[in-house]
Amino acid sequence: MITMTKSYNQFIIRIDLDSNNILKDEIVENHSYEFFAGRSLSSKIISEEVPPKCDPLGKENKLIFATGFLTGTLAPNSGRISIGAKSPLTEGIKESNTGGRAPAYLSQQSIRAIILQNKAKEWLVIEVKDSNCEIHNGEKYRGLNNIELSKRILNDFGQRVGAFTIGLAGEKLFLNASIASLDMEGYPSRHAGRGGLGAVMGSKKVKAIIIHPSSKLKIYYHDKLMFQNISKKWFIELMQTKKLFSKYGTSLGVAPMSQSHGLPTMNFRKGSFENVNGISGEALHDYIIKYKGKFSVPCSSNCAIRCSNIIFDENGNHITSSLEYETIGLNASNLMIRDIEHIAWINHYYEDFGIDSIEAGNTFAILMEAKKLNWGDWEKIIGILKGIKDDNPESLDIGLGCYRLGKKLGVKRIPHVKRQGLPAYDPRSYKGMGITYATSPMGADHTAGPAIFNRRAYEKFDYKADQPWDPEFKVKLSKELQIFIMIIDSMGLCYFVGPSYENTLRVADLLKARFGPRWNKSAEEWIEWSKKCLLMERDFNIRAGISEEEDKLPDFIETEPLEEIDRRWNIDKNEIKNFWKSF
């Protein structure tokens, strides 16, 4: 008697870029990947299959595109994908997630992950259609940046396709190169930015992955009515509570962050910027309205928050899409640039070349520290970025990232953790965020445990969340947020839905409704699962040679107060040292 094993109608696709061999592995009950998706899946594959001390740009590294358990479903804000590899920037495990068209398309074709192995001999593109992959010669796209590349892809493969692409930064193996994802309007504006994953894609000579919309939706639901009811209620709640986000986007936080002394200014010397009104969310909104841009734009399918934007100049030319808080904080106040239009144009070139705007802002600050660039000189920044195309030495240096460029130039004030530049929250005012930077396996990454103003992991616990500069409860807050973020990232959800226990209860119910009785797991069970995933990531880093001594903030953050207010880093070092021992 043959016992049939239930299928979830999902597949893992492995592409050997050396032999062009494509294998499709079906996920069934008791499959080793059954209860892994998104970030947890990419990290599991890296942990088990990538030699920890391998060259991140060598053939032994793998690049994983992993959809979440809920990606492409009716759940609100469920259009995300996790991209993972060993990072050439941090030299540890890395996941960076993004939205756009492609994640939902992949999930709706029953694809839980695409794994790129080895290296191609020549440039290629991968086409995904009706759950199958086809490899094409990509030499004709070589040398193109993301904007022109996306136009040609839409012309060659159809206006509705999604795509993951790299620009020249990825081709030239910049350690801060991003992977762009075509947004809902067809712009290459959604970026998996952190960790230099665009360089990994470039090292494998993959210029683009093109994904067609599914000809027939293949999302499986065990109880579709239950799934719809939970999703609809959550969708309406998010729409009602995130209205200001829809209007101003993430740049809404610029002015309040300056007011609370958390906005990095002049390479983290201050936490407030005297010209904040010129770079605020209100300034950006006014600029969008003046030149007939768009706000309240969704960045991915089924988005209830719609916090993205599209920006045109006075002549109607498209400048950039999705100008966000992090880009403004690291490239405006941090570099002493005072005008929102100047930041929009800088971001235009980041999008086009495919460079992480967070790492780039920190890297340009290094040039300013070294007196090779004047504070506030936005025109010179654009000139340096344009010089990447001609291999100008100063331009290529930007691809080193802030840590390595700082070491090369003898700069001591380097804002990094594990060789990755700090995001736009000063740790002396946002203690929980600083703990996340120091302890996360991802390096300095705000999304790994986003302890922003009034953020709570459990609604009924205070954490003194309205006083982010107060050290009390902030270790607890960071730890719990890192746990809930692993869950959010593995679902394919945008973290703006909120990493919390209460939302984990919803997620647990959605998973039961989608996959059936085997998924009858409580929120507490998912929390324990998340802890194991985090420890798996940390174990990879230890095996890769990243020591516990690297779980710390830069010396200047730990020793200097903010210049405008006597606010210091005052978290007990033993709490950081023991952070992972209590998991």
Residues 298-325: b if buried by 16+ CB within 10 A, e if exposed = bbbbbbbbbbbbbbbeeeeeebbbbbbb
The pLDDT score that the predictor gives to residue 484 is 98
Nearest to 583 by CA among 476, 510, 496: 476
- Indicate whether 85 belongs to any domain: yes
Quote the distance between the C-alpha of residue 305 and its chain's center: 17
Answer for the pair 82, 41: CB distance below 8 angstroms, yes or no.
yes
As beta bridge partners, residue 28 has 7
Alpha carbon separation from 241 to 187, 249, 504, 509 (Å, rounded): 28, 13, 18, 22
- Indicate whether 378 belongs to any domain: no
The pLDDT score that the predictor gives to residue 9 is 81
Question: Quick check: helix, strand or coil at residue 493?
Answer: coil
Answer for the pair 273, 259: CB distance below 8 angstroms, yes or no.
no
Q: How far is residue 77's CA from residue 99's CA, in Å, rounded to a whole number?
A: 9
The pLDDT score that the predictor gives to residue 145 is 98
Quote the distance between the C-alpha of residue 141 and its chain's center: 25
**CB under 8 Å to 439, separation ≥6 — which residues?**
449, 478, 482, 551, 576, 579, 580
- Indicate whether 532 belongs to any domain: no
The pLDDT score that the predictor gives to residue 217 is 72
Nearest to 17 by CA among 211, 212, 201: 201
As beta bridge partners, residue 181 has 164, 190
As beta bridge partners, residue 143 has none
CATH number of residue 114's parent domain: 3.60.9.10
DSSP state, residue 183: -
The pLDDT score that the predictor gives to residue 1 is 37
What are the mean pLDDT values of the chain's consecutive 10-residue runs (583 residues total)?
Answer: 60 97 95 97 98 98 98 96 98 98 96 98 97 97 98 98 98 98 96 98 98 86 97 96 93 97 98 98 97 94 93 96 96 98 98 98 98 98 98 98 98 98 98 98 97 95 96 98 98 96 98 96 98 98 96 97 98 94 84
Q: How far is residue 253's CA from residue 261's CA, in Å, rounded to a whole number?
A: 12
Task: Output the CA torsion sign for 466, 470, 472, 475.
Answer: positive
Question: Quick check: helix, strand or coil at residue 199?
Answer: helix
The pLDDT score that the predictor gives to residue 63 is 98
Please name the amino acid found at residue 278. G
The pLDDT score that the predictor gives to residue 5 is 58
Tokens of 208: 């683009």
Other beta carbons less than 10 A from residue 119's beta carbon: 17
Q: How far is residue 144's CA from residue 300's CA, in Å, rounded to a whole number?
A: 25
How far is it between the farthest Cα atoms of the chain? Answer: 77
Tokens of 377: 């000189």
- Indicate whether 454 belongs to any domain: no
Neighbour-count burial of 30, counting CB atoms closer than 10 A to its CB (0-12 exposed, 13-18 middle, 19+ buried): exposed
Task: Output the CA torsion sign for 517, 519, 525, 529.
Answer: positive
- Indicate whether 371 belongs to any domain: no
Answer for the pair 95, 39: CB distance below 8 angstroms, yes or no.
yes
Residues 190-229: b if buried by 16+ CB within 10 A, e if exposed = bbbbbbbbbbbbbbbbbbbbbbbbbeeebbebeeeeebee
Tokens of 209: 């992955």
DSSP state, residue 22: E
| CB hemisphere CA count around 335 (13 angstroms) | 34
Mark residue 136 as left, alpha or beta (left: phi above 0; alpha: psi -120 to 50; beta: remaining): beta
The pLDDT score that the predictor gives to residue 2 is 40
> In terms of residue numbers, what domain contains 91?
7-211
Answer for the pair 345, 382: CB distance below 8 angstroms, yes or no.
yes
Alpha carbon separation from 172 to 77, 349, 388, 406, 408 (Å, rounded): 33, 15, 9, 20, 19
- Output the CA torsion 425→348→298→256 (10° steps): 30
- Indicate whether 196 belongs to any domain: yes
* Number of domains present in the structure of the chain: 1
Compute the residue count for the chain: 583
Question: Quick check: helix, strand or coil at residue 346?
Answer: helix
